[in-house]
Chains A and B, each alone.
Chain A
Amino acid sequence: MTTKLRNLFAIGASAMLLAACQGQDASDTGSTGTDDNDSADTTETADFTLGMVTDEGGVDDRSFNQSAWEGMQVWAEDNGYSDDAVAYFQSNDPQEFVPNLNQAVQAGFDIIYGVGFQLTDAVKDVATANPDQHFGIVDSVVEEDNVVSLNFRDNEAAYLVGVAAAHSTQTNKVGFIGGIAGPVIDKFEAGFVEGVKSVDPSIEVDVQYAESFSDAAIGQQIAAGMYSAGADIIYHASGAVGNGVFTEATDRMESGSETELWVIGVDRDQEELGEYDGGNLTLTSSLKGVGTAIQIASNETKDEGFQGGENLIYGLAEDGVGVTEGNMSEEAWTAVQEAQEAIINGDIEVPEAPVAE
C-alpha cells in the first residue's frame, strides 16, 4: 500500500500526523532555530554540507533513518552551522532512490549518504555517474573511490539485548520481529538468539518477519500473536514496523495484562515509545550509531579529506553500537555489562547469520 493511498483514506488523520511530523523532522525547514544556535552562527553560510536519502521507512521511522537524520542535525549544531547545512530526501518507493540522489547531487552537498542497504545499487550508479561527488552508504558496501561505506556490528548489540531479555523473561519465551529478511537483519536475529541461548538454552525464541520496514499494522499483528502465545519480551529490528509492536504492548499493559510485557527497541533509544499509563515498557534498546558514524565520518572528511573506497566498521569496541540500561533489573544490567566486556575482549564471538536449522 502506498503512502498516497493511505493518505487518501485518511486525509484528515494525515493532516494531524503532519502536524506531529512537523515538530519532529521538519523543524529545520520552518523555524529559524534561534533557540539552538547563536544568531551569529546561523547567519554564517555553512562551508560544508551533508545530504541524506532515506529508504522506504522515511525520516520519521523512529529508528534507523531518524537516527541518521538526528546525527546529522547534531553534527550541524556542533559545527555551528545553520539548518541549511543538512537536508534529507525522503523515498516512498525504491524507484525514487536514484532521482532523490540526483536531486541531492544537483543541490551540491559535500557528502550524500544513502541510508540503508536498499540504496546500494542506486548509490553505486549515481556515484559512477558523478565521480567528483562524495557519497556514503550505510549498512552496505559500495566499492567506489568516491563512496565511503559505514557498517555496524549489529549482531554484537543484539547479543547484549538477548542477554538482557533472557535475564528478564518470566515466561521463558521471547520474540524477535525482523523487517525484511536478509543479511542485514540476519545479524540482529543471529545476535539476539545467540545472546538469549547463552544465558538459558531452554528459553524459546519466536522469530518472525514482517516483510516490511514501514507497515506498523503488520508489526502490531505479529506482536499480538507473540504475546498471546506467551512471549513477554519482543525485540524488533524492523524500522517503523516496530511502532506497531510498541502500540500492541502499550495497549495490553494499559488494559491490565497479567504478565508484565516488554519491548526492546532498536537502532536508537526508543524509551519514549514505551511510555504508558503505569510506567515504561521499553526494556532496553540496542543502539546503532548511524548518526554518530555519520558525524565522525563527516568531520574526518571535513578536516582530513574523504576516506573514499573505505569500509568503516563500527562495533562495541569502537562505540559504534551499544545498549541502553533502560528499565532492566540490576541483575540483567550486570550480566549485559559482563557480556559486553567479553565481546570487546574477544572472548565471545557473535555470529553474523543465524545457524541454519
Chain B
Amino acid sequence: MQLIRQHKSFLSGLIVPLTSILFGFIFGAILMLAFGYNPILAYQAMIVSVFQSPYFIGEALRQATALTFTGLGFALAFQAGFFNIGIAGQALAGWVSAVWFALAFPDLPRIVLVTLSLIIGLIIGALWASIAGFLRAYFGTSEVIVSIMLNYTALQITNYLIRNVLSESGNSTERVGENANMGFAWLSALTQNSRLNVGFFIAIIVVILYWVFMTKTTAGFEIRAVGLNASASRYAGMSAEKNIILSMFLSGALAGLGGAVHGLGTFGNIFTQGGLPDIGFNGIAVALLGLGNPIGIFFSSILFGVLNIGAGFMPNQAGVPDEMANIVIAAIIFFVGANYIIRYFLDKIAAKKEVTNSASQGGDV
C-alpha cells in the first residue's frame, strides 16, 4: 500500500507514540468531563504529586525498572516475529526462583548472592519461555496459545511452591536476608526510603546491551531478518528453529530477570498470587509504546511508572475514582495499540503536503 509508508526519521518516529499519549490524555479528559470531574485537577494530582516528592519519583522509577525488563523481553521476541504473551508467567518464574535461591543460600556474600539470584531468575524465565519456542520450532504450535497456557501453569506452580515448599502452608515466604538486599542506602536516602534499587542501573545497562545485541551482533541481525522476512532468511541459510528458540529464550531471560529484580528489589519475598503480575502485561504495552526501540521502551516504562503511581493520587486529591484513573491509562494503551489509525491519519496529512522519500526513489514499486 502506498499510503502506509515507513517513517524513517527519528522525529516522525516519535510522533506516533507522542500522539498516542496525547490522545489518551484527551480521551481521559473528555470522559472525566462527561462524568463531572475536573480533568485539569486530576492530571495535576497525577503528575505534580509524583514529581513533588522524591519518594514517589523513586517508586515510579522502581516500577519503571521492572517494566523495562519485561518490555524489552516482549520487544525482542516481537522483532523476531513472535508474540510472547507469556511475559507475565516468565517474570513470575524468575521471581519465585530468585527468591527461592536467595532464601536457600542466605549466607553467601551479598554481591554473589544478589548476582546469582538474578541469574537464576533469568535462566528459569528463559527456560520457561523456551518451552513455547521449542514447541513452535519443532511442532509448529502457536507460541501465543502455548505461552498463555504457560502463564497459568507458572501461576499455579508458583502458588503451590509457596504453600508447600517455600513456607509452611502460608501465603508468603519469609523475607530474604540482608545479603540478598538490592537496595542502596544512598539511593533510599535520596528518595526518602523508596524501594528504588540497583535494579534500575541494571535496567539501564540491559537497555544498552539490548541495543548492541540487536544492531551489532550476527545473532541480533538474524533475529531481525527472521522477524522481517522469515522466508528470505531461510533462503539465506538462517535456521528458523534456532532463531525461534533463541529469541524466545532471550525474551524469557529478560522477563525472568525483570521478575527477579521485581521480586527481590520490590518485595524481598514472594506471596501467593491472585493473578499474573502486572509487570507482564504492562511490559507488553510499554514495548508497543516504545515501538520496539530500547530507549523508547525505557522512557515508556518511566511514563508508565509515573502514570501508575500518579493515578493513586487522583481519587483523594481530585475526587476522581480510581477506576477513572485506570481508564485513562487504558485509553493511552488503547491509542498506542491503535497507532495504526494515528499513523494512517498522519500519513494522510503528510501525503497531502509532500510525499516521503520512498515514493521518489522508484516511480514504480
In the complex, A touching B, CB below 8 Å? Answer: yes
By a beta-carbon cutoff of 8 Å, the part of chain A in contact with chain B is 1-5, 7-8, 11, 14-15, 17-19, 21-22, 25-26, 29-30, 56, 58-59, 87-90, 92-96, 98-100, 102-103, 106-107, 117-118, 120-121, 129, 179-184, 186, 211-215, 353
Roughly how many angstroms separate A83 CA and B270 CA in the complex, as a whole number? 36
Q: Chain B 150-186 against A: per-residue CB contact (8 Å), 1 yes, 0 no? A: 0000011001000100000111100100000000000
Q: Are B334 and A182 in contact (CB under 8 A)?
A: no
Bound form: Cα–Cα A181–B249 in Å: 32
* Known contacts A5-B330, A99-B56, A129 near B170 by CB under 8 Å: no
B170: chain A residues at CB < 8 Å are 182-183
Q: Among the listed A1, A18, A26, which residue makes an inter-chain contact with B315, where contact means beta carbons less than 8 Å apart?
A: A26
Q: Answer whether residue B269 sits at the interface, using C-beta atoms and an 8 A cutoff.
A: yes
Show 16 A/B contacts (Cβ-Cβ < 8 Å), sorted by A.
Answer: A1-B281, A5-B285, A14-B323, A14-B327, A29-B320, A30-B37, A56-B275, A95-B267, A95-B279, A98-B195, A102-B55, A118-B271, A182-B169, A184-B171, A212-B275, A214-B274
Contact of A15 among B31, B277, B315, B337 (CB under 8 A): B31
Contacting pair B327 A118 (CB below 8 A) = no
Instruction: State how many angstroms separate the Cβ of B285 from the closest Cβ of chain A.
Output: 8
> In whole angstroms, what is the CA distance A93 to B279 when docked?
9
Are B271's CB and A94's CB within 8 A? yes
Interface residues of B (CB under 8 A from A): 31, 35-37, 53, 55-56, 59, 63, 155-156, 159, 163, 169-172, 175, 193, 195, 262, 266-269, 271-279, 281-282, 285, 308-309, 312-313, 315-316, 319-324, 326-327, 329-331, 333-334, 337
- C-alpha gap A17/B322 in the complex (Å): 12
Is the Cβ of B281 less than 8 Å from the Cβ of A5? Answer: yes
Q: Cα distance A58–B312 when bound, in Å?
A: 13
Rounded to whole angstroms, the CA-CA distance of A353 and B171 in the bound complex is 14
Q: Which residues of B contact A100 (CB under 8 A)?
A: 312
User: A1–B281 Cα gap in the complex (Å)?
Assistant: 7
A183 touches B169 (CB 8 A): yes
The answer to whether B282 and A103 touch across the interface, beta carbons within 8 angstroms, is no
Q: Is the CB of A18 within 8 A of B56?
A: no
Tell me whether chain A's interface is mostly helix, strand or loop, or mixed.
helix
The complex places the Cα of A30 from the Cα of B316 at a distance, in Å, of: 11
Write the chain B residue with the least CB distance to A117: B171
Q: How far is the CA of A3 from the CA of B325 in the complex (A)?
A: 11
Contact A103 to B312, CB < 8 A, known contacts A8-B333, A181-B163: yes
Min CB gap A26→B, angstroms: 4
The distance in angstroms between the C-alpha atoms of A92 and B63, with both chains bound, is 13
Q: How far is the CB of A214 from chain B (nearest CB, A)?
A: 6
Contact of B172 among A8, A121, A186 (CB under 8 A): A121
- Shortest A239–chain B CB gap in Å is 9
A75 to B278, CA, bound (A): 34
Contacts of B321 in A (CB 8 A): 18, 21-22, 25-26, 29
A22–B320 alpha-carbon span in the complex (Å): 9
A3 to B285 alpha-carbon distance, docked (Å): 13
Q: Within the complex, what minimum Cβ distance (angstroms) separates A151 from chain B?
A: 15
Which residues of chain B come closer than 8 Å to A3, judged between CB atoms? 323, 326
Chain A min CB distance to B250 (Å)? 24
Contact, CB under 8 Å: A93 / B324 = no
Please, how many angstroms separate the alpha-carbon atoms of A89 and B273 in the complex?
Answer: 20
Q: Report yes or no: B316 in contact with A11, Cβ–Cβ below 8 A.
A: no
- Interchain CA distance A57-B309 in the complex, whole Å: 18
A110 to chain B, nearest CB (A): 15
B320 and chain A: residue at smallest CB distance: A29
- Beta-carbon contact of A19 and B35 below 8 Å: yes
